[in-house]
């Protein structure tokens, strides 16, 4: 028995340094949440060239749904939606920038796919815009369907799901075409406008947004065809659950606030509500914020500065914008849309 105890003691002494080292490594690995808090601002990867989603004007001011998500995260963290540094990223460099730590979050009309969620190492937060790939051609081209594009040249962005979807869809339809690929979105659409291709393909929302800046928008039509599913939304780096949870629940708070009828105009009044669901959501009761490493009133900060999802949609893509896009599937589930938040409980 004494010999057995001696061997057990020797084994424990041998592995103790290894266990201690593992604990040190775990303690040394900081969450991106801690890094952002210490820095005092959020670094957000965006496009910067797509009106309605992320666009920077001549005065350097950013706007769009993707930008609003960045502002919402900054509001939750710092009670200041302007505590954001934006980095304009091309499609081909966005994942490298996120994986390399150049940006804290990617909010750049990016499609959630299995490959990106696993092989590329992204962690996608809730979808902020449900879209589908479309095709734009000139009104006078006579093209009204994909089969009409037999032998046509099509401009497309490289390094995107758009390029892969185009090949799949045309193959399925038995249509031979010539792809003309560009790394930059601006170059893709410039080539189309200059007549170097007969059609251009992208997410339908992007086609609508880009067409608005054409010299003669009325001369171009978007075909009545949907070539893919494109759930667009922000992403964080994989294996950092603390940071992922913050960005995820900030995004959900925009949707939940709209469902509860809480707006930037009435959020202070709603804090006096007797409804336990509203009181818990706004941090009047409970400690949901603390569980995320935020203040308990983080949703109040968000809604006060940024508004709910409906407010964001209307000013960037809806009736208060130049696009006037109907909500459609980007409406709340209670109105036939796909937007749905888990309970704040």
pLDDT digits (tens, 9 = 90+) for 228-264: 999 999 999 999 999 999 999 999 999 999 999 999 9
Q: How many independent structural domains does the chain possess?
A: 3
**b/e map 46-59, b = 16+ CB within 10 Å:** bbbbbbbbbbbeee
Residue 345 belongs to some domain of the structure: no
Residue 340 belongs to some domain of the structure: no
Question: Is there a single domain that holds both residue 149 and residue 113?
Answer: no
Question: Is there a single domain that holds both residue 122 and residue 48?
Answer: yes
Query: Tell me: the pLDDT tens digits for 147-184?
Result: 999 999 999 998 888 999 999 999 999 999 999 999 88
More confident residue, 158 or 333: 333
Other C-beta atoms within 10 Å of 21: how many? 10
Residue 208 belongs to some domain of the structure: yes
Q: Using the 3D structure, point to which of 228, 249, 274 is the last residue of a domain.
A: 228
User: Which pTM does this prediction carry?
Assistant: 0.88
Residue 308 scores a pLDDT above 90: yes
Question: Is there a single domain that holds both residue 281 and residue 163?
Answer: no
Residue 306 scores a pLDDT above 80: yes
Question: Is there a single domain that holds both residue 140 and residue 203?
Answer: yes
State residue 294's pLDDT score.
98
> Domain holding 142: CATH number?
3.40.190.10
- Please compute the mean of the pLDDT values over residues 210-222 and round it to a whole number: 94
Question: Is there a single domain that holds both residue 51 and residue 2?
Answer: no
Query: Tell me: the pLDDT tens digits for 41-51?
Result: 999 999 999 99
Q: Using the 3D structure, point to which of 172, 198, 228 is the last residue of a domain.
A: 228
Other C-beta atoms within 10 Å of 121: how many? 14
Question: Is there a single domain that holds both residue 71 and residue 143?
Answer: no
**% pLDDT > 90, the chain:** 88
Task: Give the pLDDT band (50/70/90) at residue 8.
Answer: very low
Question: Is there a single domain that holds both residue 61 and residue 202?
Answer: no
State residue 309's pLDDT score.
98
Query: Tell me: the pLDDT tens digits for 266-294?
Result: 999 999 999 999 999 999 999 999 999 99
Question: Is there a single domain that holds both residue 148 and residue 273?
Answer: no
Distance of alpha carbon 228 from the chain centroid = 18
State the residue range of the domain holding 329.
32-130+237-335
- Beta strand 84-88 pairing with 42-46: parallel
Burial class (CB in 10 A: 0-12, 13-18, 19+), 23: exposed
Termini Cα distance of the chain = 53
Name, of 34-38, 49-53, 109-113, the range with top average pLDDT. Answer: 34-38
Residue 341 belongs to some domain of the structure: no
Question: Is there a single domain that holds both residue 83 and residue 148?
Answer: no
Q: Give me 22's structure tokens.
A: 């593992």
- Please compute the mean of the pLDDT values over residues 22-42 and round it to a whole number: 77
Residue 140 belongs to some domain of the structure: yes
Among 258, 222, 59, residue whose Cα is nearest residue 145 = 222
Question: Is there a single domain that holds both residue 244 and residue 289?
Answer: yes
């Amino acid at each position: 028995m004494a010999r057995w105890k001696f061997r057990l003691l020797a084994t424990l002494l041998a592995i103790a340094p290894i266990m201690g080292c593992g604990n040190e490594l775990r303690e040394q690995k900081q969450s991106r949440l801690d890094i952002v808090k210490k820095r005092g601002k959020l670094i957000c990867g965006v496009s910067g060239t797509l009106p309605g989603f992320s666009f920077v004007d001549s005065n350097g001011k950013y706007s769009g749904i993707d930008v609003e998500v960045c502002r919402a995260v900054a509001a939750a963290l710092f009670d200041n939606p302007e505590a954001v540094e934006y980095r304009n990223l091309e499609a081909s460099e966005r994942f490298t920038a996120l994986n390399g730590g150049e940006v804290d979050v990617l909010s750049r009309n990016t499609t959630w796919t299995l490959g990106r969620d696993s092989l590329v190492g992204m962690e996608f937060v809730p979808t902020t815009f449900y879209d589908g790939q479309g095709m734009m051609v000139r009104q006078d081209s006579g093209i009204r369907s994909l089969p009409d594009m037999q032998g046509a040249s099509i401009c497309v962005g490289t390094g995107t799901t758009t390029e892969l979807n185009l090949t799949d869809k045309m193959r399925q339809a038995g249509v031979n075409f010539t792809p003309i690929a560009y790394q930059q979105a601006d170059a893709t659409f410039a080539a189309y406008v200059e007549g170097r291709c007969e059609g251009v393909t992208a997410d339908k929302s992007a086609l609508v947004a880009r067409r608005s800046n054409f010299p003669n928008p009325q001369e171009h039509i978007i075909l009545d065809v949907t070539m893919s599913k494109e759930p667009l939304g922000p992403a964080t780096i994989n294996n950092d659950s603390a940071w992922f949870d913050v960005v995820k629940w900030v995004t959900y708070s925009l949707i939940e606030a709209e469902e509860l009828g809480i707006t930037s105009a009435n959020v202070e009044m709603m804090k006096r509500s007797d409804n336990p669901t509203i009181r818990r959501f706004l941090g009047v009761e409970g400690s949901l914020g603390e569980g995320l490493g935020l203040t308990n009133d983080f949703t109040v900060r968000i809604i006060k500065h940024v508004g709910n999802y409906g407010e964001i949609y209307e000013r960037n893509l809806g009736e208060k914008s130049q696009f006037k896009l109907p909500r459609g599937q980007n409406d709340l589930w209670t109105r036939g849309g796909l937007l749905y938040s888990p309970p704040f409980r």
